[in-house]
Structure 1
Amino acid sequence: MPTLGTPLTPDLITPGSCWQLLKDLNGYARSRGEGLATQAAAGRCFRVITPVNKLGTTRIRVQLLEDGYPCWLNVADLAGQARTTTPPRPRLMSSDAIAARIPAVLAWLKVAAARPNDYLWGGTLGPDLDCSGLVQCAFASAGIWLPRDAYQQERFCEPVAVRPGNDQLLRPGDLIFFGRPQRCTHVAIHLERGRYMHSSGREHGRNGIGIDSLHPSDRHPVASHYRAELRGAGRIMRCHDGTTLP
């Protein structure tokens, strides 16, 4: 077993071993192909799920430990760019502590929106982000880890009642969820009075981060599209403990 801080080499990648990234990396959806699932910033930790195949495996399946998210990492990208570590301790944070950090989350959003950006499926590093990547990055900037995907974030929240034109129960920093009756497919962060910030694709009239409203008076194509797909809202009351899949 290598000592803590040992640089990663392919022969040290064993199932169950834990590593900390020294550079930003892409996390892929499958063992082959270009489909991005997520991105992991330098400093994040992962646990190896599958071993390296000596006969030519180019990717390993891992679990990112801050949010429990599984993905595939390129072995070549990891060489010398990670070091052994111990699993992070569970993060216990009260709902009051989370509420106190919401202004920092919203301040991060303002900066992110001011940078040139495009919508990127799987984008979690910035400036190019997808909808749930924007949400996860915003909260992580304040030390609050959430699950990675929109449907996971919906399950993670405490529900808050909302409907188009009626947002009285929403607070700044609440999450708003959109999609089909069967599944949440999009998420945004509530700002105030029904206005929300999110990252959306060009197929609905924008390509990147923007602000829209739940109120019918907002006739922008993006606002109209998502208002018709409103599922509900939720409040972040806890921090992901970093030990289990969401």
Structure 2
Amino acid sequence: MPTSPHFAPSPSGEYRCRENLNLYTSSACTGLATQAVAGRQLRIIGAEGDAVRVQLCEDDYPAWLALSDRTLIEPAPMAYHAVRVERDEIERRIEGAIAFARAAMAQPHHYLWGGTVAPDYDCSGLMQAAFASVGVWLPRDSYQQGAFTAAIAFDQLQPGDLIFFQEPEKNRISHVALYAGAAGYLHSSGVQRGRNGIGIDPFTADGSEIGSRYYPLRHSAGRIMHSYQPGDGWNQ
């Protein structure tokens, strides 16, 4: 595993976030890739210029950490150990994940590309945070969540399932929402589709102004059968 002279040696080979952390899309550290809430763990996998390449342990997500933020992480005494959660237990936790998303919607917030830390989320960041709040880890991005979940038909949707959307100009899934039952689906969306943050819309063609814009983009639906395990391969 690569090491860096900028960081104290870690007995586990991993580091723990002391505070909420911004991680970037490149070594220039100009575009937000994702965030890591305090307590998450990461490993250093490379370095370039004034940044180090890191990989988050819970979801295998790679990104760049600015060296100026190196004081925000510390050696982790123990390596991250994933607890696998199976479908029967996930079903008991779905209510809590939906409650998390509803509570996030009730707070002042806005849509943030790369956001996974309250109060500002992107679409897949909200899904990951909602399920992580009940101990169920998902992959980070919407297309990865689409590949990770078990495909179901739209008429089989149950609360806690994910709905995926795809923009016409995209070559893969580009948006994800959490199905909440008869009320519709919870999702964080940007101003280009009429909302700057989290809302709930019916899964119909004409149930709401925002929903009518997303409904033609529906791609597929997925059911979470187990929690993400490092090395599952969905974040490559």
Q: Deviations over 1:25-81 (max 9, x none)?
A: 101000004200000011000011014x6xxx3110010000110000112212263
For residues 155 and 192 of structure 1, the distance between their equivalents in structure 2, rounded to whole angstroms, comes to 22
Residue aligning to 1:212: 201
Residue aligning to 2:35: 39
Residue aligning to 1:174: 161
Residue aligning to 1:154: 146
- The 8 Å contact of residues 15 and 76 in structure 2, kept in 1 or not, is answered as yes
For residues 180 and 39 of structure 2, the distance between their equivalents in structure 1, rounded to whole angstroms, comes to 29
For residues 76 and 143 of structure 2, the distance between their equivalents in structure 1, rounded to whole angstroms, comes to 32
Within-5 A mapping of 1:168-207: 169-180=156-167, 182-193=171-182, 195-207=184-196
Residue aligning to 1:3: none
Identify the range of structure 1 (24-33 vs 83-92) with the bigger mean alpha-carbon deviation. 83-92
Aligned residues: 228
Within-5 A mapping of 1:37-116: 37-51=33-47, 57-79=49-71, 81-116=73-108
| Secondary structure of residue in 1 paired with 2:166 | strand
The CA RMSD over aligned residues, in Å, is 2.0
| Secondary structure of residue in 2 paired with 1:197 | strand
| Secondary structure of residue in 2 paired with 1:27 | strand
Task: Give the greater-gyration-radius structure (CA).
Answer: 1
For residue 10 of structure 1, the aligned residue among 6, 12, 33 is 6
Write the letter of the residue equivalent to 1:17.
G
| Secondary structure of residue in 2 paired with 1:50 | strand
Tell me how far 1:194 sits from its aligned partner. 6.7
| Secondary structure of residue in 1 paired with 2:178 | strand
TM-score (norm 1): 0.87
For residues 119 and 243 of structure 1, the distance between their equivalents in structure 2, rounded to whole angstroms, comes to 30
For residues 111 and 126 of structure 1, the distance between their equivalents in structure 2, rounded to whole angstroms, comes to 10
For structure 1, which runs of at least 5 residues remain unmatched after alignment?
Answer: 1-7
Tell me how far 1:245 sits from its aligned partner. 4.3
For residue 230 of structure 2, the aligned residue among 207, 218, 242 is 242
1:122 aligned to 2:114? yes
Write the letter of the residue equivalent to 1:129.
Y
For structure 2, which runs of at least 5 residues remain unmatched after alignment?
Answer: none
For residues 38 and 47 of structure 1, the distance between their equivalents in structure 2, rounded to whole angstroms, comes to 15
- The 8 Å contact of residues 27 and 73 in structure 1, kept in 2 or not, is answered as yes
For residues 180 and 160 of structure 2, the distance between their equivalents in structure 1, rounded to whole angstroms, comes to 6
**Could you list the runs of 4 or more consecutive aligned residues of structure 1 that deviate by over 4 angstroms after TM superposition?**
none
Tell me how far 1:91 sits from its aligned partner. 2.1
Tell me how far 1:17 sits from its aligned partner. 2.8
TM-score (norm 2): 0.90
For residues 216 and 79 of structure 1, the distance between their equivalents in structure 2, rounded to whole angstroms, comes to 49
- The 8 Å contact of residues 17 and 72 in structure 2, kept in 1 or not, is answered as no
Tell me how far 1:11 sits from its aligned partner. 4.6
- The 8 Å contact of residues 162 and 223 in structure 2, kept in 1 or not, is answered as yes
For residues 9 and 130 of structure 1, the distance between their equivalents in structure 2, rounded to whole angstroms, comes to 34
Residue aligning to 2:136: 144
For residues 187 and 80 of structure 1, the distance between their equivalents in structure 2, rounded to whole angstroms, comes to 30
1:229 aligned to 2:225? no
